[in-house]
Structure 1
Amino acid sequence: MMASASSRELRGLASDELLALPAVIDLDTANRALMIGRSTGYGLAKQGEYPVKVLRLGNAYRVVTADLLKLLGLQLQSPEGGHPGRVVGEPHRLCA
Structure 2
Amino acid sequence: MTIDDAEVAAALMALAEKRGRDKTFCPSEAARRLADDWRPLMPEIRRVAGTLPLIATQKGQPVDPVTARGPIRLRLAPQGRRGSRG
Q: TM-score, normalised by structure 2?
A: 0.33
User: Which structure has the higher relative contact order (CA within 8 Å, separation 6+)?
Assistant: 2
Q: TM-score, normalised by structure 1?
A: 0.31
Which has the greater radius of gyration? 1
